[in-house]
Amino acid sequence: MATLVELKERLSSLPDKRKRAELGATFAAHLGKVLVSRQKVERALTVASIAEEILPSAGHTEAKTRARKAGQQAVRLQKKLEAAPESICETSVDHSFMILNDHAEAAWRECNAAWEKELEAKVKDWAILVEVMNRLVPQQGGRLRTAVSALQNAKNKPPGSRAEASQIENHLKDLTDIVAKLGLKGAFGQFLRAAASQQGAGSKDLLDPEVQEKINQHKLWNVFRVKFS
């Protein structure tokens, strides 16, 4: 099947010079947009495949659906233009190009949104504790800061290669390890998040055996203060 570039070259055989120039300009305009759309679709499919290996729960279904629709639209256009290159100036063809480009744009947008949402879910509970843990347990707090910072930066830059994915995966493993070592997933983590908030933690939270155990373990009693609400 001929590509848009090849179809554009066929126009050189048209006898009408003015018509040839007009069709050539239209082909060139659409070709530039289609090349950008192709890159978006390829990037979306690559990222979705890699991202789902790191975060299996990431929902890239919509991104892959829109990428597939862009590809189907491209095939239909290619067949029509191969049969009749001069149809490039038809309103229906222009509309078909618009649909193709819209699907490609949506594929990349949905891919980014799914990645950002999933990574944010992994980080949000621990980001609020970075400063707190850096003060309370500097060594592990420093590790927490590094992991959270790296993952927050990665939210807006989905992995486009295995190497990039490997780095993000290592930061996720570090985060899981730190959270486990500090015991932040249970009542102690909830207590610290509450204590770090503007409302503060309730006095009853300190009666929880797990909270007291962790405070004793990390020798943290002297860093907390009691105030009237």
Does residue 96 have a pLDDT over 60? yes
Is 128:139 a contact under the CB 8 Å cutoff?
Answer: no
Q: Which two tokens stand for residue 130?
A: 């970075």
Query: What pLDDT is stored for residue 38 in this prediction?
Result: 94
Cα-based torsion angle of the residue sequence 174, 178, 181, 186 in order, rounded to the nearest 10 degrees: -120
Q: Which two tokens stand for residue 30?
A: 């659409």
Q: Which two tokens stand for residue 25?
A: 């300009």
Closest to 27 measured CA to CA, from 92, 100, 85: 85
> pLDDT per residue over 138-159, tens digit each?
888 889 999 999 999 999 899 9
Average confidence score pLDDT of the chain: 84
**Domain boundaries of the chain, sorted by first residue:** 4-118, 124-223
Is 93:81 a contact under the CB 8 Å cutoff?
Answer: yes
pLDDT band at 1 (very low <50, low <70, confident <90, very high): very low
Closest to 69 measured CA to CA, from 33, 99, 35, 108: 99
Q: Return d(Cα 94, Cα 105) in angstroms, integer.
A: 17
> pLDDT per residue over 26-37, tens digit each?
878 888 899 999
Query: What pLDDT is stored for residue 56 in this prediction?
Result: 79
Closest to 43 measured CA to CA, from 95, 103, 108, 100: 108
